[in-house]
């Protein structure tokens, strides 16, 4: 069995899929971030909408999210910072690596999460400058190989 799309140590069926199926709720912002990344990889638009803070959805629909999922070719997730939560707010900084043509780039974001009635939601994010993977960098897919010998 392969590991979960989020890069966690468990198979998808025991890591992020229970969140997508409504059998579990994320207990931390990082857990929600990882499950949302896996939802983008597996095109779980309903889950993405459900876990997006109602306050900041502003016209976001399942159709828009599904299209975004289908247009993305994610390669790997790298969590770069998870400061301690402050009551009902949390932050996760990550790089979501994706393939664009013959390059691998990263969506680098510092995301804010908010807990409402015991549930965590993605609230908003600050996009950082794009990062381009070098041919000799380790591939973000987790293979341990250089990018030029793997996903590039």
- The string of pLDDT tens digits covering residues 50-69 is 999 999 999 999 999 999 88
- CATH of region 12-149: 3.10.450.50
**CB-neighbour burial class of residue 47 (10 A; exposed 0-12, middle 13-18, buried 19+):** buried
Here the contacts of 94-102 (C-beta below 8 Å, separation 24 or greater) are 94/33, 94/37, 95/131, 95/140, 96/37, 96/40, 97/133, 97/140, 97/141, 98/72, 98/73, 98/74, 99/73, 99/74, 99/75, 99/151, 100/73, 102/152
Spatial separation of the C-alpha atoms in residues 30 and 27, rounded to whole Å: 9
Residue 102 has pLDDT above 90, yes or no: no
Residue ranges per domain, the chain?
12-149
Q: In this structure, what token pair is assigned to residue 101?
A: 């043509």
- The string of pLDDT tens digits covering residues 68-78 is 888 888 999 99
């Amino acid at each position: 069995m392969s590991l979960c799309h989020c890069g966690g140590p468990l198979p998808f069926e025991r890591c992020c899929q229970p969140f997508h199926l409504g059998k579990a709720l994320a207990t931390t912002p990082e857990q929600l971030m990882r499950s949302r990344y896996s939802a983008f990889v597996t095109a779980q638009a309903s889950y993405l909408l459900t876990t997006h803070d109602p306050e900041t959805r502003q016209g976001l629909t399942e159709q828009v999210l599904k299209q975004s999922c289908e247009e993305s070719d994610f390669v790997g997730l790298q969590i770069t910072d998870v400061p301690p939560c402050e009551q009902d707010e949390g932050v996760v900084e990550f790089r979501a690596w994706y393939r664009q043509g013959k390059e691998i780039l990263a969506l680098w974001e510092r995301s804010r999460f908010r807990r409402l009635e015991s549930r965590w939601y993605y609230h908003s994010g600050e996009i950082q400058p794009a990062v381009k993977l070098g041919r000799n960098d380790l591939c973000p897919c987790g293979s341990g190989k250089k990018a030029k010998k793997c996903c590039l």
